[in-house]
Amino acid sequence: MKNIIFPIEVKKREFNAKVLLAHFILSTKNIEVSVYIGHYKKIKSIVNLCAKDGSVILLKGISCYESFYRRLKDFNSSPHLLQEEGNIFSKNILKFYKVASVFGYIKFIDKIYLWSKNARNFWKNYIKNNLNRKKFIVTGHPRFDLPKIIFSKKERKYILINTTFALANALVNVENEVQNAEFLKRSLEKHNRKFKPDSLHLEKKILIKFISGIEIMLQHFPNEKFLLRPHPGENPEFYRKYFMKYTNINISENSSLSEVLNETKFVIHPGCTTAIEASFQGIISICYCPILDKRNIQFLPFMLSYKCKDQSKLVSLSQDILKKKKSYINKISIIKKYIDNINYYSAKKISAEIIKYKLPNKTSFFYTKIKWTVLDIFFHIRNYPNYIFKYIFFEKFRKTMQQQKIREFYKIPYIKEHEIKNLLEKYKLFFKKKYNYKIIELENNFFKIEKI
């Protein structure tokens, strides 16, 4: 029995793509397989459960803790990395990443799935020999499969607004979190990045100007319906309060982009990857940047969009799009350089790589379980008293911890069995595949999908 684990950190961004991966694995003939899908914070118990037969676990980012990988290896779990950002960062972030020490941890990762050949070139400094070279596979990303999978045509009824103000409108106070969250301090250090208050202040200015422009749009187009999707790290209540007097806008923090795009007329964004997904469906995007900083904007969404800086231009561009005076400009040739799965399904390619990966044979985990139980006990003895002390006596620390819990809820409010089943059945119908499976809820927000 092969076990494959798909942790989910942000439901609205990852869920549909992870279930698509599960579909391609379950539809593969002549294999006994179980797919585990659910909340990323429950990885430890699921890996332990799968230790006897071993497992492949698909991570979305590089952990900055060596002990995390050693635990996986000890429990016969092979970490694979699905590159999340694809190196379409801003120029400033790319500059920092080129010397980031976090890449030293790739020695613990067995396979790395990259967005494109361009992304592979970015990693070339870490591909030092034939052994390493086999780790890096260009597969594209399953999130860009989703716009190609249209279950049924729907009315184009929304003007979609996607925001990316995860600093200026953060669910967790950024300055407090940098001071009080040890994992964030370590992550910033390993990524060769520092929190800069100037970046926060600039983003706040852009946010205020951006939503002011959206307010003008609501007034100018009272008969149009607007749908605003905040970034997963943003506070959606800020937008609800700001736009509370308008009836033609809805704030949706849980909606999946692949589902929303089917009902979208065009997209307004401040430099968001939504423009890429929209391009796959031939949907026009406007990059509305009231304050434009070319070194800190994601360059591919910027390239794929109509651009404007002032409110009057935003309104006139929108009018032209609604009146069909502006049309979608096909830029697939540009996208291909950064996203490889233009003409194939990334999820199918990745699932094939996972299935053929051979795990080492391990038979006994008695001492392994004792070892990690003891290490966990020592970890809690060493850290828990300090945590309790700071929680009681330091208000900023306490508030940061409380805000982090709220953020976790927004990122993964729930995962339900019927959601998994509904998506799998839709994928089976779309791809004309037949297979049988059963879904077992192992614990809250984590499921086993067993092929039968």
pLDDT tens-place values along the chain, 452 residues long: 899 999 999 999 999 999 999 999 999 999 999 999 999 999 999 999 999 899 999 999 888 888 999 999 999 999 999 988 766 766 666 655 555 566 778 889 999 999 999 888 877 766 666 667 788 999 999 999 999 999 888 889 999 999 999 989 999 888 888 776 676 666 666 555 666 677 888 899 999 999 999 999 999 999 999 999 999 999 999 999 999 999 999 999 988 898 899 999 999 999 999 999 999 999 999 999 999 877 778 888 999 999 999 999 999 999 999 999 998 888 888 899 999 999 999 999 999 999 999 987 776 788 899 999 999 999 999 999 999 999 999 999 999 999 999 999 999 989 999 999 999 999 999 999 999 999 999 999 999 999 99
Report if residue 394 sits inside a domain: no
Looking at the DSSP bridge assignments, the partners of residue 155 are none
Tell me the pTM.
Answer: 0.92
Domain boundary among 313, 331, 349: 331
Q: In what order do the strands lie in the sheet with 306-308?
A: 249-251, 225-229, 158-162, 264-269, 285-288, 306-308
Outline where 191-273 has alpha helix (H): 197-220, 236-242, 257-261
Looking at the DSSP bridge assignments, the partners of residue 39 are 8
Report if residue 387 sits inside a domain: no
Give the domain range for residue 250: 152-331
For residues 176 and 303, state if they share a domain: yes
Exposure string over 340-379, b if 16+ CB within 10 A, otherwise e: bbeeebbbbbbbeebeeeeeeeeeebeebeeebeeeeeee
d(CA 129, CA 298): 31
Exposure string over 109-139, b if 16+ CB within 10 A, otherwise e: bbbbbbbbebbbebbeeebeeeeeeebbebb
For residues 199 and 324, state if they share a domain: yes
DSSP string, 416-437: -HHHHHHHHHHHHHHHT----E
Which pair of structure tokens corresponds to residue 433? 């595949």
Looking at the DSSP bridge assignments, the partners of residue 138 are 114
For residues 141 and 157, state if they share a domain: no
For residues 65 and 20, state if they share a domain: yes
For residues 172 and 321, state if they share a domain: yes
For residues 139 and 46, state if they share a domain: yes
Tally of CB atoms within 10 A around 91: 13
Question: Which pLDDT does position 129 carry in this prediction?
Answer: 65
Report if residue 230 sits inside a domain: yes
Report if residue 403 sits inside a domain: no
Q: What is the CATH number of the domain that holds 40?
A: 3.40.50
Q: What type of residue sits at position 204? A: K
The SS3 of residue 34 is strand
End-to-end CA distance of the chain: 11
Question: Which pLDDT does position 97 carry in this prediction?
Answer: 58
For residues 245 and 96, state if they share a domain: no
Total domains, the chain: 2
Domain boundary among 279, 311, 331: 331
For residues 162 and 140, state if they share a domain: no
Which pair of structure tokens corresponds to residue 318? 């929108």
For residues 157 and 291, state if they share a domain: yes
Report if residue 86 sits inside a domain: yes
For residues 125 and 201, state if they share a domain: no
Long-range CB contacts (within 8 A, 24+) of 133-138: 135/106, 135/109, 135/110, 135/111, 136/112, 137/111, 137/112, 137/113, 137/353, 138/114, 138/340
Give yes or no for a contact between 345 and 59, defined as CB atoms under 8 angstroms apart.
Answer: no
DSSP string, 266-301: EEEESS-THHHHHHHTT--EEEE-SS--GGGS-HHH
How many alpha carbons fall within 13 Å on the CB side of residue 418? 0
For residues 8 and 59, state if they share a domain: yes
The SS3 of residue 328 is coil
For residues 40 and 79, state if they share a domain: yes
Q: What is the CATH number of the domain that holds 254?
A: 3.40.50.2000
Give yes or no for a contact between 258 and 145, defined as CB atoms under 8 angstroms apart.
Answer: no
Map tokens 């990303």 to a residue: 141
Phi first, then psi: give them for residue 350, nearest 5 degrees.
-65, -45
Compute the Cα dihedral for 253, 323, 211, 279 and give only its sign.
Answer: positive
Report if residue 385 sits inside a domain: no
Give yes or no for a contact between 304 and 334, defined as CB atoms under 8 angstroms apart.
Answer: yes
Which pair of structure tokens corresponds to residue 63? 């952990």
Report if residue 375 sits inside a domain: no
Element (H, E) at 182: helix 182-190
Burial class (CB in 10 A: 0-12, 13-18, 19+), 178: middle
d(CA 261, CA 257): 6
Element (H, E) at 16: helix 11-26
d(CA 155, CA 359): 47
Report if residue 214 sits inside a domain: yes
d(CA 202, CA 207): 9
